[in-house]
Structure 1
Amino acid sequence: MDGASSSAFRPKKSGEKVPVWTSTRYLLAVLGSFGFFSAYGMRVNLSVAMVAMVNHTQKAALNGSEDCVPNTNTTGQDKPGEFGWDSGEQSIILGAFFYGYIVTQIPGGFLAGRYGGKPVFGLGILCTALFTLVTPVAARANKYLFIAVRVIQGLGEGVTFPAMHAMWKSWAPPIERSKLVTITYSGAHLGTVFSLPISGLLCDHFGWPSVFYAFGALGCLWFVIWMLMVHNTPEEHPRISYVEREYIQGELRREGTTGKNESIPWLTFATSAPVWAIVLSHFSNNWGFYTLLTDLPTYMKEILLFDLTQAGFLSAVPYLCIWLVIIFGGQLADFLRENKFLSTTAVRKVFNCGGLVLPGIFMVATGYVNCSQQVLAIVFLTFSVAMGGLCMSGFNVNHLDIAPRYAGVLMGISNCVATIPGFAGPAVVGILTQNAKTWITRKHQWQIVFYITAGINAFGTITYVLMGDGTVQSWAMSQSEAKRAAPLDEDRERLVVNEEHVDPRTYGFIAHDHNA
């Protein structure tokens, strides 16, 4: 678009609308959401399948509490599994995904910034899907081959968040970022909602290999749809309406961050307090999230004494709630910003604090609930997971606030650091619980796990309050852009896009000649 001839925007019809729910940017959000749905389905299905794959008969001694009597009703899902892996080996297998996932975070952001988010995001999920399909063969062939397959799956999926952030750099008007990003990333939790119970049913009725075949096939199907319907930028999209394209480009120009990346200021990233605030909050949030994501079915089976099908369905309840919190939180965050009730910085801090403090409190409370109080345990776990969804409108959108042009790389950096809990969290659980001889002992060890998580969340809360920011940083704009950028947030008049009649000429849109 640079250097294209321009003229004043004149809509063909008076009162032409800027589309919302029928727009291409919201279609991108929905398709991206289904992409994360597929990705997380392939990521977490092993958490349930592992319970069916492993022989748990030796763990009957854990049921040693007067209030917690083992269920003597033997069902299909209680039959001995094929593998005799102990808690430590299971933790290594569950965490192997993240050893690959951490490697491709920063390269994913860099490649998406250079070649576009569409191919990077799509190919990443396709890679994960193909190796999901071969997982049963690898698991039965050799434990180490199984671990290698999980690492490769992580390599593929590691590019997804940075690539999607790079997409939103070009597609998300500043005032709609919370809405669009939360819709997109909420698919990860919706995928968890479906993956956990469906994996339990598939294991029960068709055997554990069916879990990997079903979700792998779904990932391949999604890839085809994504490549056919999505485009890297509004300029490339053949079906976007003229008014929507000009609305997106006009809003991004006013922010002053529409230029291409000439170089990446790595040293500036390392010395920027707002960047560190995002990184530390991302790490803290993911510690609790990954701990429960990978080990919640096991906790519900061994501590709360649910069977496999129950564990799968009930493990999904918290993730259904977090999906709702994420969607509602994104709408509320942008409502507060757009109507000038709070600045962007204040909104990010309020949501981020709620998303870290509340989960820690409810997680600690869960550790003191007996298996005879299963309903209360589910309530506490649900609140712990669900309240973490507030962070999606906190640090998780913040990359786009402080440095839109580098959003993909910044997401790669923060998610790289935040991937450490993916293998460290399950490893801590494995170390603390593998030598438990009784149910009581294991429960106490899980209480320690929950206290560690709450402490890490408190650390993330404090650092974000002290260092977080919601404004575009000076180093994220070129000198020419900084001079002409209009102020955002509460100091500027916003274009309200709620399917109202809008004359874009009022807001100084500039139309570019498509043929230039």
Structure 2
Amino acid sequence: MAAEGPHWIKCARVHLSFLAFLGFVNVYMLRVNLSVAMVAMVTPTPPDSDYSGECTLPGNSTTSASTTTPSTGATYDWDRATQGLILGSFFYGYIVTQLPGGMLAATYGGKWLFGLGVLCTAVFTLLTPLAAKLGVPVLVATRILEGLGEGVTFPAMHGMWTVWAPPLERTKLVSFSFAGAQFGTIIGLPLSGWITDALGWPYIFYIFGGIAVLWFILWIVLVSNTPATNRFITTEEKDYIESEMSKISDGEPVTFRNTPWISIAKSPAVWAAACTHFCHNWGFYTLLTCLPTYMKDVLRFDLQKDALISSLPYIFMWLFIPSTGYAIDVAREKQILSTTAARKLVTFIGFLVPAACLTAIGFVGCNTTLAVALLCICGAFDGVSQTGFNINHLDIAPKYASILMGVTNTIATIPGFLGPQVVGWLTTNNSTSEQWRSVFYISAEIYVFGIIIYMLLGSGAIQPWATSQVLYEPVSTEDTNGDCDLLSTMDQPALRDSNSVPA
């Protein structure tokens, strides 16, 4: 039987997951703030000058939402194409540092890389109002620099979990930390609206940037790269983590020269993860950057209600990510599902339901209640899918997980700058539900394509090129769980492989 120890709250790896969660809260607050601020930054248009009149404001008001938007701060005459360029420019920088970030994390660890990535984004966020005043080119350049900083965050965190997350706890620890992205969206969208109403849109950037700087200080003081260098970990937990991780690592340092680049490029499992990541992010980024505009122009919400309603899909997404992650780890640990079956199951369900919801949204017209309900269902099952592809790198190549995250997230960043521009092209002139129907159709079709690819090529098994060790060697059921009760069934037999059950 597993040794019974203190409550899980005392575990250093849980502390790391919580601080990483807060880090991703900041990452996404810094990312989404411009989506709401943009509504107030753009010069209001005359009533119904860019609107077909198919829907009225909630409460049957006939006043255009664009004329009631509060604006404390300068406004700019930016057309839809310019707005799409500004919103998408972040991702031009974000895509550049994915692979270098993964390589640096694998070689030097993720602590400073993750922290400095968030700090860099925070600093340029603080400079955003000044950049907007100086003109579109300067604002675009500032957003690109923000993206450069934030681009290292996901690969850096995978680098941390490579040495911190025991295989049987992998999904719950990683999914909880990454769920901070959705929580950051949940609070970032309505806070941006309220701050704009109360203080003006420039203060969105000042407040969010300042919070991220404070988080950086906390992160640097409390976090360490490895369990061995952590000041707050118990000896039992440190020995447990190092023992579990030694089963899936040969101990050889990762360098650029010894990374199996050709094998990675030829691996169907890597391409399946990359394709699935791309398909997910097309739908996710389209909603993330453009949902406030859809709420304002088609469903006719005002700025404050728009921001609040826009956050609802992410509330459901945030709730479903950690809960699904926990369920998947229990199913794997009890050998109900293999890792491959678990990853394919959540990908299939997590892509199919959003595809159906987005298709249906195209036909709801002005039924705001039904549209918001479908968006919430879409968000919930999108969260289910993130316990698949987002953790798959640690399944197939734990030693190179940060590098693989850099590879797949590079490809998956393309929708970040392409999606808003496509939305801008499709919704020029009158922004109607018919135009947005095309936006949702494209996302739904891409989701379905992702299902097909992952069902055919996806895998949860550690790849032959990713380890030189013998797999599936039985482990004694008397092993301790590091004096932390993270799994409720630690007395179940375990297998010595990256997935803890047959892949």
Confirm or deny a common fold (TM above 0.5). Answer: yes
- Evaluate the alpha carbon distance shift between residue 18 and residue 57 of structure 1 in structure 2; reply closer, same or farther with a 3 A threshold: same
Q: How does 1:452-471 map to 2 (within 5 A)?
A: 452-471=442-461
CA deviation string 1:424-458 (max 9, x = no partner): 11010011112x33x5xx22111111111111111
Query: In the alignment, which residue of structure 1 is the partner of 2:143?
Result: 150
What's the offset of the Cα at 1:256? 4.0
Counterpart of 2:301 (choices 290, 298, 306) is 306
Query: In the alignment, which residue of structure 2 is the partner of 1:315?
Result: 310
Aligned counterparts of 1:501 and 1:152: Cα–Cα separation in 2: 44
Q: How does 1:206-217 map to 2 (within 5 A)?
A: 206-217=199-210
CA deviation string 1:449-472 (max 9, x = no partner): 111111111111111011111111
Query: In the alignment, which residue of structure 2 is the partner of 1:351?
Result: 346
Query: In the alignment, which residue of structure 2 is the partner of 1:120?
Result: 113
What's the offset of the Cα at 1:365? 1.0
Secondary structure of the structure 1 residue equivalent to 2:259: coil
Query: In the alignment, which residue of structure 1 is the partner of 2:382?
Result: 388
> Do 2:296 and 2:306's aligned partners in 1 also have CA atoms closer than 8 Å?
yes
Query: In the alignment, which residue of structure 2 is the partner of 1:415?
Result: 409
What's the offset of the Cα at 1:20? 2.7
Secondary structure of the structure 1 residue equivalent to 2:455: helix
- Structure (1/2) with the larger helix percentage: 1
What's the offset of the Cα at 1:386? 2.0
CA deviation string 1:301-354 (max 9, x = no partner): 000000000100000111111000101111111011011111011000001111
> Do 1:257 and 1:476's aligned partners in 2 also have CA atoms closer than 8 Å?
no
Amino acid corresponding to residue 191 of structure 2 in structure 1: I
> Do 1:123 and 1:156's aligned partners in 2 also have CA atoms closer than 8 Å?
yes
Aligned counterparts of 2:490 and 2:349: Cα–Cα separation in 1: 38
- Evaluate the alpha carbon distance shift between residue 46 and residue 501 of structure 1 in structure 2; reply closer, same or farther with a 3 A threshold: closer
Q: How does 1:90-489 map to 2 (within 5 A)?
A: 90-262=83-255, 263-371=258-366, 373-434=367-428, 436-437=429-430, 442-478=432-468, 482-483=469-470, 485-487=471-473
Aligned counterparts of 2:488 and 2:278: Cα–Cα separation in 1: 43
> Do 1:283 and 1:417's aligned partners in 2 also have CA atoms closer than 8 Å?
yes
What's the offset of the Cα at 1:85? 0.1
Query: In the alignment, which residue of structure 1 is the partner of 2:41?
Result: 53
Amino acid corresponding to residue 343 of structure 1 in structure 2: S
- Evaluate the alpha carbon distance shift between residue 311 and residue 488 of structure 1 in structure 2; reply closer, same or farther with a 3 A threshold: farther
What's the offset of the Cα at 1:68? 3.2
> Do 2:169 and 2:486's aligned partners in 1 also have CA atoms closer than 8 Å?
no
Q: Which one has the largest radius of gyration?
A: 1
> Do 1:16 and 1:501's aligned partners in 2 also have CA atoms closer than 8 Å?
no
- Evaluate the alpha carbon distance shift between residue 84 and residue 245 of structure 1 in structure 2; reply closer, same or farther with a 3 A threshold: same
Aligned counterparts of 1:62 and 1:493: Cα–Cα separation in 2: 69
- Evaluate the alpha carbon distance shift between residue 251 and residue 305 of structure 1 in structure 2; reply closer, same or farther with a 3 A threshold: same
Query: In the alignment, which residue of structure 1 is the partner of 2:13?
Result: 25
Q: Which runs of 5+ in 1 are unaligned?
A: 1-13, 510-516
- Evaluate the alpha carbon distance shift between residue 151 and residue 78 of structure 1 in structure 2; reply closer, same or farther with a 3 A threshold: closer
Q: Which runs of 5+ in 2 are unaligned?
A: 497-503
1:498 aligns with 2:488: no
Aligned counterparts of 2:234 and 2:72: Cα–Cα separation in 1: 57
Aligned counterparts of 1:343 and 1:292: Cα–Cα separation in 2: 32
Secondary structure of the structure 2 residue equivalent to 1:207: coil
> Do 1:338 and 1:494's aligned partners in 2 also have CA atoms closer than 8 Å?
no
CA deviation string 1:196-222 (max 9, x = no partner): 000001111101000000000011000
- Evaluate the alpha carbon distance shift between residue 508 and residue 324 of structure 1 in structure 2; reply closer, same or farther with a 3 A threshold: closer
Secondary structure of the structure 1 residue equivalent to 2:233: coil
Aligned counterparts of 1:143 and 1:88: Cα–Cα separation in 2: 12
- Evaluate the alpha carbon distance shift between residue 286 and residue 492 of structure 1 in structure 2; reply closer, same or farther with a 3 A threshold: farther
- Evaluate the alpha carbon distance shift between residue 59 and residue 65 of structure 1 in structure 2; reply closer, same or farther with a 3 A threshold: closer
> Do 1:282 and 1:418's aligned partners in 2 also have CA atoms closer than 8 Å?
yes
> Do 2:176 and 2:322's aligned partners in 1 also have CA atoms closer than 8 Å?
yes
Query: In the alignment, which residue of structure 1 is the partner of 2:499?
Result: none
Aligned counterparts of 1:503 and 1:279: Cα–Cα separation in 2: 33
Amino acid corresponding to residue 318 of structure 1 in structure 2: P
CA deviation string 1:270-329 (max 9, x = no partner): 100100010000000000000000000000000000000010000011111100010111
Aligned pairs, how many? Answer: 485
Secondary structure of the structure 1 residue equivalent to 2:49: helix
Query: In the alignment, which residue of structure 2 is the partner of 1:72?
Result: 63
Amino acid corresponding to residue 269 of structure 2 in structure 1: P
- Evaluate the alpha carbon distance shift between residue 494 and residue 446 of structure 1 in structure 2; reply closer, same or farther with a 3 A threshold: farther
Amino acid corresponding to residue 452 of structure 2 in structure 1: I
> Do 1:193 and 1:320's aligned partners in 2 also have CA atoms closer than 8 Å?
yes
Aligned counterparts of 1:494 and 1:302: Cα–Cα separation in 2: 58
RMSD between aligned alpha carbons? 2.6
CA deviation string 1:80-101 (max 9, x = no partner): 9610100000000000000000
Aligned counterparts of 1:57 and 1:388: Cα–Cα separation in 2: 35
What's the offset of the Cα at 1:19? 5.8
What's the offset of the Cα at 1:56? 3.1
Aligned counterparts of 2:138 and 2:490: Cα–Cα separation in 1: 60
Amino acid corresponding to residue 144 of structure 1 in structure 2: P
Aligned counterparts of 1:430 and 1:501: Cα–Cα separation in 2: 49
Aligned counterparts of 1:102 and 1:117: Cα–Cα separation in 2: 18
Query: In the alignment, which residue of structure 2 is the partner of 1:10?
Result: none
Aligned counterparts of 1:67 and 1:430: Cα–Cα separation in 2: 20
Aligned counterparts of 2:95 and 2:134: Cα–Cα separation in 1: 26
- Evaluate the alpha carbon distance shift between residue 508 and residue 100 of structure 1 in structure 2; reply closer, same or farther with a 3 A threshold: closer
> Do 2:394 and 2:401's aligned partners in 1 also have CA atoms closer than 8 Å?
yes
Q: Percent identity?
A: 46
